[in-house]
Amino acid sequence: MKIPQPVSEDRIKGKSAILGNIMAVRVVAETLKTTLGPKGMDKMILTGSKEVAITDRGASILSLIDIRHPAARMLVEAAKAQDTETGDGTTSVVVLAGELLKKAEELLIQGLHPATIVEGYRIALEEVKRYLEEASLPVEDGMLLDLATTMLMGKVGEDEARYLAKIAVDAVRIAGDKDNVKVLHRPGGSVKDTHLVRGMIIDLGKRVHPSMPKRVEGARILLVDTEFAVHDVNNAKVELMDPARMRAFKEYKSKVLRVAVNMIKASGANVVLCQKNIEDLAMFFLAQEGILGVRDVEKDVLELLAKATGGRIVSNVRDIDPGSLGYAALVEEGKIGLEEIMYVTGCRNPKAAAILVRGGSENTALEVSKRLESLISTLERVLRDKRCLPGGGACEVELARRLRTFAPSVKGKPQLAVFAFADALEVIPRYLAANAGIDPLILLPRLRAKHEAGGVSYGLDLRDREVKDVRKTGILESLPAKKHAIISASELAEMILKIDEVLFARGLEKESPAPQPSVQAPSTPPEAMDFPAKGGKIDFKQLMM
């Protein structure tokens, strides 16, 4: 079946618009499907600055490639929203949306109207949401660690995944909020050199004067968010002809800074962490009093230090008092490679934490840090909702089974769309198996049989390449992430199916129309079509008519 040609140069109408948009989304889905699951493959992306990025994170891939087609950009926005909201499931959103639209394309070719498909998808989605709430499991002791390990499996070794998962769980329990956990990465060492700081880390933090102590135990910390200096009077001009008066003028700053340092010393502070600059003379006076000073501390780090140490950020020396100081058992300057780093540890009842990620290379350390950031975001939601789901494709297979049982009760043609929704859900376990080098035609029927027999928590354990009760093996997923992913994919598919015309605004420069691709059969995979990817860009010009 040929896609109808556009009716004019400034509009695309009817099936041309619908099928063109479907194809654009499917191209992106086909790109990401091989990254799904713990055994997923990586993508190498060449950025505009000729740097190389290697990752299997859906959110990272979509942020690096240049996507021009408007329907495909809608998919990117849905994936970004998934990452922001739950920290996990971006690849699932893309793959599931692509499969839903693939099934919708088949129904369109058979003659179903887009409105009928949308109606059926909405009915199926309501049934899915109802089941997810019923099937969710309360998070018990140890389950949070299992869930975190499941998310990291395949990205690092099993022992490393368990080690990093414990760090992430501890960090979330300390901080209570993902925004209160600072994740830094430094190349060098191994992934198992990654460690949690129950306090804070100041990246590139160093003493401002060599005479200051490198290590302060029982630190009383003053947090300052303004410049530690005597400011000149604005719009003033001073002329001094007498050398004695000039000396007196210069001594003025010295006296003011000496008074300020004396006030700091009197408050009991022995560490000063400043967001901005510390003037040279102030450095000298602080060093004389044995006070450790650090300047250029980032604003967000300073705020986290206040939460970790229990201190209060001050802007004026008149606000300094013992009650404004934070506490840490140890503040110590360290070094990784040639770069300094400042550790603030041993805080009393900290409300913030930091994780220093290590790896054999810059890319490894960066990827692990991104994984941990996503994991921390997911764990925060799970701790808040206290619900999870069986993983390994168990949830999708059971949802598909229930929808096939439910579909006959739907009257009319929307019933076909409900069956299509059920088939689309199984794309997740299918590619989990395929990406692990397992034939889905072997494992998927066995998985369905287990669910037909009542084994609702049976899924794929890719470590042993077997179908197992994943509740017992600790393969779990976040309920919020799974629910949000399915809802986002379904709503995106419905939105694209309802677009029957694309109009070009006046003055919009359009590319020369490219020849329209033909759809040979419903099963024609997008990878069989010629959509070249060059220089980290997926070229969607062929899809713009």
Residues 99-132: tens digit of each pLDDT: 999 999 999 999 999 999 999 999 999 999 999 9
pLDDT in tens, 498-511: 998 887 765 555 54
Q: In this structure, what are the phi and psi dihedrals at residue 253, rounded to the nearest 5 degrees? A: -60, -40
- CB–CB of 361/431 below 8 Å? no
Nearest to 497 by CA among 121, 70, 235: 121
Of 165-179, 299-313, 496-510, least confident by mean pLDDT is 496-510
Task: Give the C-alpha separation, 99 to 75, whole Å.
Answer: 13
- Mean pLDDT for 182-199 is 93
pLDDT band at 318 (very low <50, low <70, confident <90, very high): confident
pLDDT band at 231 (very low <50, low <70, confident <90, very high): low
Task: Give the C-alpha separation, 374 to 395, whole Å.
Answer: 21
Nearest to 293 by CA among 324, 268, 269, 318: 269
Of 106-110, 209-213, 229-233, least confident by mean pLDDT is 229-233
| Cβ contacts of 34 within 8 Å, gap of 6 or more | 40, 41, 431, 435
Written as six digits, the tokens of 83 are 């990452």
pLDDT band at 157 (very low <50, low <70, confident <90, very high): confident
Looking up tokens 């027999």 gives 453
Q: Is the pLDDT of residue 252 over 50?
A: yes
| Cβ contacts of 257 within 8 Å, gap of 6 or more | 229, 230, 279, 281, 282, 285
Q: Is the pLDDT of residue 152 over 60?
A: yes
pLDDT in tens, 333-392: 999 988 899 999 999 999 999 999 999 888 889 989 999 999 999 999 888 888 899 999
Q: Is the pLDDT of residue 517 over 60?
A: no
Written as six digits, the tokens of 424 are 């689309």
DSSP string spanning 280-324? HHHHHHHHHTT-EEE----HHHHHHHHHHH---EESSGGG--GGG
Strand order in the sheet with 387-390: 137-138, 387-390, 476-478
Question: Would residue 88 be called left, alpha or beta, if left means φ above 0 and alpha means ψ between -120 and 50 degrees?
Answer: beta
DSSP string spanning 374-392? HHHHHHHHHHHH-EEEETT
Q: Which pLDDT score, from 0 to 100, does residue 537 have?
A: 40
Mean pLDDT of the chain: 86
pLDDT band at 161 (very low <50, low <70, confident <90, very high): very high
Q: Is the pLDDT of residue 528 over 70?
A: no
How far is C-alpha 304 from the geometric centre of its chain's CA atoms? 20
pLDDT band at 154 (very low <50, low <70, confident <90, very high): confident
Q: Which pLDDT score, from 0 to 100, does residue 106 have?
A: 95
- CB–CB of 69/544 below 8 Å? yes
Q: Is the pLDDT of residue 91 over 90?
A: yes
pLDDT band at 518 (very low <50, low <70, confident <90, very high): very low
pLDDT band at 246 (very low <50, low <70, confident <90, very high): low
Q: Is the pLDDT of residue 214 over 80?
A: yes
Instruction: Count CB-CB contacts under 10 A for residue 487.
Output: 16
pLDDT in tens, 5-53: 444 456 777 788 899 999 999 999 999 999 999 899 999 988 776 788 8
How far is C-alpha 17 from the geometric centre of its chain's CA atoms? 32
Q: Which pLDDT score, from 0 to 100, does residue 507 have?
A: 54
Write a three-state SS string for 431-491.
Answer: HHHHHCCCCHHHHHHHHHHHHHCCCCCEEEECCCCEEEEHHHHCCEEEHHHHHHHHHHHHH
Q: Is the pLDDT of residue 524 over 50?
A: no
**Across the strands, what pairs with 294?**
273
Q: Is the pLDDT of residue 2 over 50?
A: no
3 state DSSP class of 48: coil
Percent share of the chain, pLDDT over 90: 63
Task: Find the angle CA(75)-CA(391)-CA(450) to the nearest 5 degrees.
Answer: 120
pLDDT band at 530 (very low <50, low <70, confident <90, very high): very low
Of 172-181, 264-273, 523-532, least confident by mean pLDDT is 523-532
Which value, to the nearest 10 degrees, does the dihedral of the CA atoms of residues 530, 536, 538, 539 take?
A: -80
Q: How far apart are the first and last CA of the chain?
A: 17
Q: Which pLDDT score, from 0 to 100, does residue 316 have?
A: 86
Q: Is the pLDDT of residue 169 over 60?
A: yes
Q: Which pLDDT score, from 0 to 100, does residue 220 have?
A: 97
Q: Which pLDDT score, from 0 to 100, does residue 338 have?
A: 83
Written as six digits, the tokens of 157 are 């070794």
Positive or negative CA dihedral for 277, 282, 283, 286? negative
| Cβ contacts of 63 within 8 Å, gap of 6 or more | 80
